[in-house]
Structure 1
């Protein structure tokens, strides 16, 4: 099958609106955006979000749209406005950094908004939907 981000989902993502399906979709999305492959030599994982940073201005907007999708999924889970505001702040800051010409890609190595937002979603799911917890090993 492979070891990429979509191999975890068996090459098919669930389309349901239940918490377990949402968890699986946002985890695969975060992995694709932030940890799709490792840069040889520096052993640093990067993903689509970093590659989008190579596109002037437009890449930042596309990355923000992916982040917006994660926020939409969080809203569908019934997350609180405070948590969603933190998620929007993470996406907004990532978007703003990405607009800086020439160096906008550098923050993508250190400020991973999608990873931060996944942590927020997982915390909510672990508390309100404990049956969705997946033990990785």
Structure 2
């Protein structure tokens, strides 16, 4: 009987979601919230400004609907934080970040500029990372 190992295929570009873990363990949650923050806040770099922007600033150009969609995605970070067992005061702080971003972001022109400067999802990720580093040190990642 001939048992052959399949030839190693070259790794092709896979969809963004294919690399995200599905578990509820702290490491999986950390990877998901970091990926969502990168999508919302730092997906594309604007060469002239040397500043990264993401879906939050891009979708903010669409009146009302864009801000509501990105607010829902920002609230997903809060939901993941709740599942980690974070204290309520931190959850309220995260909700306030998303609420401020949504409320000011809904103002037509000033809101778009505000979305470039105020990164609520980055702030919320910082809160989640601090909690994970303190309560789940095995998830700690050395940053570049």
* TM-score normalised by structure 1 residue count: 0.91
> For 1:99 and 1:105, how far apart are their aligned partners in 2?
8
**Cα RMSD for the two superposed structures:** 1.5
User: Residue 24 of structure 1: SS of its match in structure 2?
Assistant: helix
Asked which structure has the greater CA Rg, the reply is 2
Find the aligned partners of 2:51 and 2:140 in 1 and give their Cα distance: 27
Q: Matched residue pairs, number?
A: 131
Unaligned runs of 5+ in 1: none
Taking the aligned partners of 2:54 and 2:86, their CA distance within structure 1 comes to 26
Q: Give the equivalent residue in structure 1 for 2:100.
A: 93
Question: Residue 131 of structure 1 aligns with which residue?
Answer: 138
Residue 74 of structure 2 is matched in structure 1 by 67
Alignment of 1:78-117 (within 5 A): 78-117=85-124
1:45-101 C-alpha deviation (Å, 9 max, x unpaired): 100100011100111101110111000000000000000000000000000011112
Equivalent position of 2:19 in the other structure: 12
SS at match of 1:135: coil
Secondary structure at the counterpart of residue 38 of structure 1: strand
User: Counterpart in 2 of 1:56?
Assistant: 63
TM-score (norm 2): 0.87
What is the deviation of 1:102?
A: 2.4
Deviations 1:8-65 (A, max 9, x none): x8x4200000000000000010011000011021111100100011100111101110
Which structure 2 segments of 5+ residues have no match?
1-10
Indicate the residue corresponding to 1:46 in structure 2. Answer: 53
Tell me, in whole angstroms, the C-alpha distance in 2 between the residues paired with 1:35 and 1:102. Answer: 21
